[in-house]
A and B are shown apart, each in its own frame.
Chain A
Amino acid sequence: MNIENSTSQQDKKTIRARLKTFLAPVPLIGWLLGIFGAVLVEYFLGDLISYYFGLPKIPVLFGFLTVLKKPLLMPGTIGYLALVYGVPILVIAKTLQKPANRIADFLDRGPVTVAAFVHLGLLYGALHFWADLSDYRLLVLKLTMIAIMLTLSINIINGYMGEFSCSHPGFMALGAYTASAITLLLFTDDKQFGIALLPAALGPYLFPLALIAGGIAAALGALVIAIPSFRTRGDYLAIISLAFLFIVKSVIENLEFVGGPRGMSSQPHYSTLPVVFIVMVLCIWIINNFVRSTMGKALNAVRDNELAAEAMTVNTRKTKIITFMFGAFWAGVAGGLFAHVLRYVNPGSFGIQRLAEILAMVYFGGLNSVTGSIVGAVSINVLGEALRPLEIYKWIIIPLLLIVVMLVRPTGLISFTEFKPKELMKPRHNREEGA
């Protein structure tokens, strides 16, 4: 036996284990407080700190953009990140550990909705101040949230139900065009639809209705795929959904009153950060409830063995129709938000490229898992933005990464897990204290 080697390994293990025991008693709300504090530090002191580290301005996306453009600024960026994010998060999370645990304990005894509200409020506050520093951050944040919704909604169909649906950009396009047409028709004066029919002041309040209309349009479109799915599955369904995508794109290109290939522009500015955040939270909440319901379990049954599921009194037709329409609904809502974030839609943005992007997000994150979808959407989206200075090489690195993930974990990073908000928000007492 090589004693020295084994002891050094043990040392390493103990350091990791020590770090783990050191950080384990911090509850989620403690981390959120830490993040909130770090964001506040950046908000008020960011300019100053970045000046002292020799950076031209605050690193917008965790320093990736700065470092990739000017590698010499790497030490400064790392120092900045450590000082602005690392130190405050750790310090606040650790010092507030006891009160945070007490708060978590208090919230844990109350209804889960209240606890969720408090956590989400903190998260939103942090994101708000983080995004307030630059418009680019705001855009990336909104697009990431929309990506989360898209990934979740395709995960219901591709992950939980196990079909290979390729039509998600089509659903998204239906939602985007329906919602845009409604807001342009009702609330704005523009060249395509003429003068506004309703006072513009009503717009932000009726915007959710436009989103829902977009979702319903997408859900109706999903019937085109759901009905053939009774008789066929697998590759043929993939083709049917692919054909549906091409048809939607082509129909929109041929409809002159929605702008044809040129698309629609100057949508009103309704997709603000709170709106996108609230819709995303609703989406996660409802989808998580859906997949944990009886219907959600039926999805897995249909995926694993349709005949056996049918024998066990699962109504497979109803399950399929509801799932397709439900997934498409959220894709449509995400599309509506997307159109109002970019304030421009054209058929070209809902093609094969978008499909590859969505599929990459869901398979990277993990099938059959809400957490996985969130992780996949955030990582692929943020990585895509962070590697932007590499220009086209970005599209070599991301696919390579995805291939590696597929080879190592064929079902994605975090697959087949349940997302349990109540467990996440639980207080984490020390074992010594508890004993």
Chain B
Amino acid sequence: MDLFLQNIVNGLQWGSFYALIALGYSMVYSILMLFNFAHGDVFMVGSYIGFGVATALLGFVAMTGIPLPGWLILILTILFSMFFTSFVGMFIERVGYRPLRDAPRASAAITGLMIGIILETGNLAILGARRLSFPQLIESATYQFGGVYVTNKKILIVGVSLGLMYLLHRFIQNSKWGMAMRAMSFDFQAVPLMGVSINKIAPLTFAIGSALASAAGILYGLAYPVLDPYMGILLGWKAFVAAILGGRGSILGAALAGFLLGFIEIFVAWIFPSTLRDVIAYSIILLILTFRPHGFFGQAHSTQLRL
């Protein structure tokens, strides 16, 4: 029983990374009907930007002697990195997606993939192949509830992720921009005629998605403090699977499916040998998609590939 609860805690942590990244995929999809295949690498870039910001802040503290507490540095790091990474997202939209809005969908997928490769290689070319270790901004502490061990980082990661998701939800439901986004996802041909420019909404969507991915990158860096240029590939593709599993374009679905994927992976690794994790996790996903071909919350309209 204790192990079960322990794995639920681990699954929550692992799933929150997937959920945060999957949100970015899903939001872009709901507006443009396209997947941003560079998103996994945006997560990686966000993590590196977080590393840079954290190092700079720590250097600032060491130089000026102003005793900033660790949690403040962490909050500042997350905010600054989200800000900077959002420009990466807007850049990707401008270069890879805006010129191809009317082109076959596969072409935009290819540009996305290629921008991802450029981001990875560019990182490798600039920073070299050595792995960076993310600075430990807060002292880790372990609490025990019954037989379950919970570190303060796990609480922080899950808390920050849920908080960001709540903020996103409020933004989409209550703000004017959020309303424009919802309208755009309802009909992206009629809404531009009503005076809402898709050239503003699409970059905004990319920016928000990238900011969330950046937050995920920093939280990932806190939990697993080793950064390498290819870290975005595996996590990104799995988050992509989660975004589809939730139903394309469904924000709630993406978040839930992200957590579900995290739980599946953690529990499979607990019950079976951990090398079987991918086989069983993906087989479950295949089964789910065979019986619910449109994901959990997706609408059952079949879109043609515009080719």
Contact = CB atoms under 8 A, between A and B. Distances in A.
Q: Do these two chains interact?
A: yes
Interface of A: 158, 162-164, 224, 228, 231-236, 239-240, 242-244, 246-247, 249-251, 253-254, 303-305, 352, 356, 359-360, 363, 367, 392-393, 395-396, 399-400, 402-403, 406-407, 410-411
Most chain A CB neighbours (cut-off 10 Å) among B105, B117, B245, B302: B117
A254 B282 contact: no
B111 A235 contact: no
A356 B111 contact: no
Interface string B97-126: 001100111111111011101101110110
A360 B115 CA distance: 12
Given A164-B105, A233-B305, 11 more contacts: A163-B305, A164-B106, A234-B105, A234-B305, A236-B294, A247-B279, A247-B283, A250-B278, A393-B121, A395-B121, A407-B99
Given A235-B248, A403-B95, A396 B118 contact: yes
A392 B121 contact: yes
Interface stretch (B160-168, B186-194, B214-222, B284-292): B284-292
Contact of B100 (A249, A395, A402, A406): A406
Q: 10 closest A-B pairs (Cβ-Cβ)? A: A410-B103, A399-B114, A250-B278, A232-B293, A410-B107, A395-B121, A243-B282, A239-B244, A250-B279, A363-B110
A225 B113 CA distance: 22
Nearest to B113: A356
Nearest to A240: B289
Contacts of A305: 304
Contacts of A410: 100, 103-104, 107
Contacts of B305: 162-164, 233-234, 303
Contacts of A395: 117-118, 120-121
Contacts of B29: 235
Interface string B256-295: 0000000000000000000111110011011001100111
A254 B276 contact: yes
A388 B304 CA distance: 40
Most chain B CB neighbours (cut-off 10 Å) among A240, A254, A399: A399
A206 B290 CA distance: 39
Task: Give the dominant DSSP class at A's interface.
Answer: helix
Contacts of A244: 282, 286
B35 interface: yes
Contacts, number: 139
Contacts of B213: none
A231 B307 contact: no
A402 B282 contact: no
A235 B35 contact: yes
Nearest to A303: B307
Contact of B307 (A162, A400, A407): A162
B206 to A, nearest CB: 17
B241 A239 contact: yes
A231 B290 CA distance: 8
Given A240-B286, A243-B286, A360-B114, A234 B106 contact: no
B144 interface: no
Contacts of B149: none
Contacts of B286: 224, 228, 240, 243-244, 247
Contact of B294 (A163, A232, A304, A402): A232
Contacts of B237: 242, 246, 352
A356 B294 CA distance: 25
5 contacts: A233-B305, A236-B294, A250-B276, A363-B106, A410-B100
Nearest to B247: A236
A399 B117 contact: yes
Contact of A396 (B106, B122, B279, B294): B122
A359 B110 contact: yes
Contacts of B241: 239, 242-243
A251 B280 CA distance: 10
A363 B37 CA distance: 15
A330 B277 CA distance: 30
B202 to A, nearest CB: 17
A360 B302 contact: no
B89 interface: no
A392 B237 CA distance: 23
Contacts of B103: 406, 410
B253 to A, nearest CB: 13
A39 B121 CA distance: 37
B96 interface: yes
Given A163-B305, A396-B118, A399-B114, A231 B293 contact: yes
A228 B115 contact: no
Interface in B71-98: 95-96
B9 to A, nearest CB: 26
Contact of A250 (B104, B114, B282): B282
Nearest to A232: B293
B115 A399 contact: yes
B115 A246 contact: no
A384 to B, nearest CB: 12
A164 B34 CA distance: 13
Interface string B21-46: 00000000100000100000000000
Most chain B CB neighbours (cut-off 10 Å) among A236, A249, A360, A407: A236
Contacts of B289: 228, 232, 236, 239-240, 243
B303 interface: yes
B111 A403 contact: yes
Contacts of A359: 110, 113
A254 to B, nearest CB: 5
B233 interface: yes
B120 to A, nearest CB: 8
Contact of B125 (A304, A363, A396): A396
B106 A158 contact: yes
B70 to A, nearest CB: 36
